[in-house]
Chain A
Amino acid sequence: QSALTQPASVSGSPGQSITISCTGANSDVATYNRVSWYQHHPGKAPKLMIFEGNKRPSGVSNRFSGSKSGNTASLTISGLQADDEAHYYCCSYVGSFWVFGGGTKLTVL
């Protein structure tokens, strides 16, 4: 079973941009369009923010964007807002298996 590595925490001030990385141990994220990203506020249902690497579901702000470089996928949040403070998880679909990253705690200073 492969694993996706995310930084444990990132932080930024309101209005700034931050990027959360998601690195695959094998070729998990090499297939770019199989990565999705989720936002999770404690005690609430996780929310899909990005799918197919860089697509946003209806209703998700265009402040959220996805990208990839090599075997690393990234989530960028621009114009940070207080409500963005949450945990963020990447997920890769690998054949008939789904693997999540360990999660990144975003703190808005």
Chain B
Amino acid sequence: QVLPQESGPGLVKPSETLSLTCTVSGDSISSYPYYWGWIRQPPGEGLEWIASIYYDGSTYYNPSLKSRVTMSVDRSENQFSLKLSSVTATDTAVYYCARHNFGSVSRPFDSWGQGALVTVSS
């Protein structure tokens, strides 16, 4: 069973950079044909895809967030990470990491973490 698990600070100050790590157990982050992604859910709102990455560093970014987002992979630790710069209160959300199955034409997110609440506040 694949178990992604988010970790990182729960509180970030406005204008600073939000940093989260997803540690994957039960599967290698280098497994084909899986990408690894981040999705967020602001309080009371729906889900928003942020970005996805392959073990070789290939990435897809949501155009609305692309200028502020960086993703990276650490194969030795079986982890991948998200950095979101210049955060504001609108970036307050539960952040989920998930496995992304590129073996399917719908590229679904087939395993999700429990989520990590990140609050942007001074």
B46 engages A45 (CB within 8 Å): no
Chain B nearest CB, measured from A53 CB (Å): 7
A51 engages B114 (CB within 8 Å): no
Partner of B64, one of A1, A47, A93, A98: A1
B62 contacts which chain A residues (CB < 8 A)?
Answer: 1, 97
Chain A nearest CB, measured from B7 CB (Å): 15
Partner of B106, one of A45, A47, A51, A103: A51
A34 engages B105 (CB within 8 Å): yes
A96 contacts which chain B residues (CB < 8 A)?
Answer: 60
B122 contacts which chain A residues (CB < 8 A)?
Answer: none
Best-surrounded residue of A47, A51, A57 (most CB of chain B within 10 A) = A51
Q: A89-B46, A100-B48, A103-B46 are in contact. Are A46 and B109 (CB under 8 A)?
A: yes
B114 engages A34 (CB within 8 Å): no
A86 on interface, CB distance cutoff 8 Å: no
How many residues does chain B have at the interface if contact means C-beta atoms less than 8 Å apart? 27
Task: Report the bound CA distance from A57 to B113 in whole Å.
Answer: 17
Chain B nearest CB, measured from A103 CB (Å): 4
How many residues does chain A have at the interface if contact means C-beta atoms less than 8 Å apart? 28
Task: Report the bound CA distance from A103 to B46 in whole Å.
Answer: 6
B46 engages A48 (CB within 8 Å): no
A43 contacts which chain B residues (CB < 8 A)?
Answer: 114
B46 engages A52 (CB within 8 Å): no
B47 engages A103 (CB within 8 Å): yes
Q: Which A residues from 1 to 42 make CB contacts under 8 A with B?
A: 1, 33-36, 38
- Provide a sorted-by-A list of 18 A–B residue pairs whose CB atoms are within 8 angstroms: A34-B106, A35-B106, A36-B106, A45-B112, A45-B115, A48-B110, A48-B111, A51-B104, A52-B104, A52-B105, A89-B47, A91-B47, A98-B49, A98-B52, A100-B39, A100-B46, A100-B47, A103-B46
